[in-house]
């Protein structure tokens, strides 16, 4: 025995035109004995893809038609050609008809050209939701795994390879970078006015901002490839102890401007408004040496405790060994191991 389910989707526009699509799902009774009740992820994918296909096709056709009308003389522009365009959405990939309209010859005499209206509404061949979702997953896990997770729950074809996830993650990252730069430019223009508004009180911990910054070399996964690069990683936080939160940033650029822009943007996220002490804590690496100088004044630069301790550690080990390897207990014990420890605490 089996039941055929029919899901009907009906769209009506303001002129009363109705567009109707039906989706069929067959459900046999036998599967109930296997503990298989209700709709599965696969059924969900089938339904969502069919619905999405109907909605996307209708919307793209309507938009193309709307753009076919010349806004100056209200006549139809002539057709250059029809191709198809693939639009990727989180609930399915839809192939739609992609017309190209010629420019109106009456209104633009002598100008020969054509345009694709769908390029205007979907330049990435994927919806912004799809772009953001892939980028978000791509930033949390390896690209291959992100592609697998997406295909597991969403009606996305296996052709959505990890290369696509990688490409989208990078593209969204670049857009975020551009946005940061634009916001920083805007903020910089207003920073000088603001600085005069509040009196600066030195030594006020709540007004101190701390940037803990470090670099990391990322080596290529392929041993023979020479593509290594350097990342700058930082935590921007308020001074004082036990303050929760803080903003992290990572940049693949070691350019001073990029580090400065990212740091200022992250500092603004924790309440920095152009005044207050800024402390930069780093390991003193070459690329970070100039960072404190580029930051707004007053900025203090200190080497972090971890890196100081790392430098002392080998000396400490040598000193301990010397102290232990005394040939005779009669000779006075050298104090070198205690001296080295004292140096560490002094620093």
**Residue whose pair of structure tokens reads 């892939």 in the numeric block:** 134
Cβ proximity to Zn ion: between 104 and 122 the closer is 104
Q: How many CA atoms lie within 13 A of 152 on its CB side?
A: 6
Among 65, 73, 163, 310, binds Zn ion (CB under 5 A): 73
Cβ neighbours of residue 290 under 8 Å, at least 6 residues apart? 256
Among 56, 96, 104, 319, binds Zn ion (CB under 5 A): 104
163 in contact with Zn ion (CB under 5 A): no
Each residue 21-60 as x (binds Zn ion by CB under 5 A) or -, in order, gives ----------------------------------------
Among 10, 17, 72, 204, binds Zn ion (CB under 5 A): 72
103 in contact with Zn ion (CB under 5 A): no
> Which one of the spans 66-74, 88-96, 204-212, 287-295 is the region binding Zn ion (CB under 5 A)?
66-74
- β-pairing, 229-238 vs 247-251, is antiparallel
Cβ proximity to Zn ion: between 113 and 271 the closer is 113
Q: Report, in Å, the least distance between residue 215 CB and Zn ion.
A: 58
Which CA distances in Å does 166 have to 91, 140, 143, 172? 20, 12, 6, 10
Q: Report, in Å, the least distance between residue 77 CB and Zn ion.
A: 7
105 in contact with Zn ion (CB under 5 A): no
CB-count burial class (<10 Å; 0-12, 13-18, 19+) for 295: buried
107 in contact with Zn ion (CB under 5 A): yes
Cβ proximity to Zn ion: between 71 and 123 the closer is 71
Number of residues engaging Zn ion in binding (CB under 5 A): 6
Task: Tell me if residue 297 falls in helix, strand or coil.
Answer: coil
CB-count burial class (<10 Å; 0-12, 13-18, 19+) for 283: middle
231 in contact with Zn ion (CB under 5 A): no
204 in contact with Zn ion (CB under 5 A): no
Closest CA to 274 of 191, 209, 204, 206: 191
Measured over the CA atoms of residue 187, residue 192, residue 193 and residue 199, the dihedral's sign is: positive
Give the 3-state secondary structure of 249-282.
EEECCCCHHHHHHHHHHHHHHCCCCCCCCEEEEE
> Which one of the spans 72-80, 89-97, 200-208, 321-329 is the region binding Zn ion (CB under 5 A)?
72-80
> Which one of the spans 73-81, 154-162, 167-175, 262-270 is the region binding Zn ion (CB under 5 A)?
73-81
Residues making contact with Zn ion (CB under 5 A):
70, 72-73, 104, 106-107
């Amino acid at each position: 025995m089996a039941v055929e389910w029919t899901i009907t989707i009906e769209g009506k526009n303001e002129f009363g035109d109705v567009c109707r699509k039906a989706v069929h799902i067959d459900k046999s009774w036998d599967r109930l004995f296997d503990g298989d009740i209700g709709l599965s992820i696969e059924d969900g994918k089938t339904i969502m893809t069919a619905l999405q296909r109907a909605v996307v096709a209708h919307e793209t056709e309507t938009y193309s038609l709307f753009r076919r009308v010349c806004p100056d003389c209200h006549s139809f522009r002539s057709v250059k050609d029809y191709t198809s365009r693939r639009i990727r959405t989180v609930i399915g990939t839809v192939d739609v008809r992609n017309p190209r309209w010629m420019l109106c010859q009456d209104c633009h005499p002598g100008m020969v050209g054509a345009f694709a209206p769908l390029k205007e509404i979907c330049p990435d061949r994927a919806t912004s939701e799809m772009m953001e979702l892939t980028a978000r997953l791509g930033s949390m896990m390896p690209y291959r795994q992100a592609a697998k997770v997406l295909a597991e729950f969403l009606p996305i074809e296996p052709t959505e390879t990890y290369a696509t996830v990688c490409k989208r993650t990078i593209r969204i990252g670049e857009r975020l970078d551009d946005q940061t730069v634009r916001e920083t430019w805007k903020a910089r223009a207003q920073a000088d006015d603001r600085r005069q508004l509040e009196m600066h009180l030195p030594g006020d911990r709540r007004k101190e901002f701390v940037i803990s910054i470090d670099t990391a070399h990322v080596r290529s996964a392929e041993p023979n490839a020479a593509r290594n690069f350097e990342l700058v990683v930082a935590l921007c936080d308020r001074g004082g102890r036990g303050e929760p939160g803080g903003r992290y940033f990572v940049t693949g650029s070691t350019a001073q401007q990029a580090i400065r822009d990212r740091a200022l943007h992250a500092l603004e996220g924790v309440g920095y408004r152009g005044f207050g002490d800024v402390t930069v804590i780093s390991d003193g690496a070459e690329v970070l040496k100039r960072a404190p100088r580029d930051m707004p004044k007053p900025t203090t630069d200190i080497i972090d405790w971890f890196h100081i301790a790392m430098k002392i550690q080998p000396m400490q080990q040598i000193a301990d060994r010397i102290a232990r390897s005394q040939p005779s207990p009669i000779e006075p014990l050298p104090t070198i191991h205690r001296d080295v420890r004292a140096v560490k605490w002094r620093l």
